[in-house]
Structure 1
Amino acid sequence: MQQHLELPTTGFLRLNQILQIIPIGKSTWWAGVKSGRFPKGVKLSVRTTVWKVEDIRSLIKTAGGEAISY
């Protein structure tokens, strides 16, 4: 069962939080980032990447309620 995630106004989201909103797999997300379909993340460390909430909101708005999938 998926929980509804309330997006904060500002800040950053980790990948597991994004995938609760956009139901796709990790590899699909990373392929979309590489192709430019999804926003690039911000590297906090070698193994930690986050995305700006504003970029994720924009992605959702641009999709206009369409299913984001491949």
Structure 2
Amino acid sequence: MLVLVGLLALVVGLVGGFFLARFTMKSYLAKNPPISEEMMKSMMMSMGQKPSQKKLNQMMSQMKAQSQKASKK
């Protein structure tokens, strides 16, 4: 009986921990996107493009909209 309670507590803890970690990572990535404007600017410059602030803003807003669309699924 004691072993059954221990196994049940272990399973509940693992499942709860997984969903808590998943929620925490989703909220962290929503607040702190993995790519910033500076990173985007350096990527564009390395590809031979001269990035304007308007183009950077457009690309960042597209990435933000795409991540919101993906998180709704």
Taking structure 1 as the reference length, what is the TM-score of the superposition? 0.25
Higher helix share: 2
Flag the structure with larger Rg: 2
Higher relative contact order (CA closer than 8 Å, sequence separation 6+)? 1
Higher strand share: 1
Taking structure 2 as the reference length, what is the TM-score of the superposition? 0.25
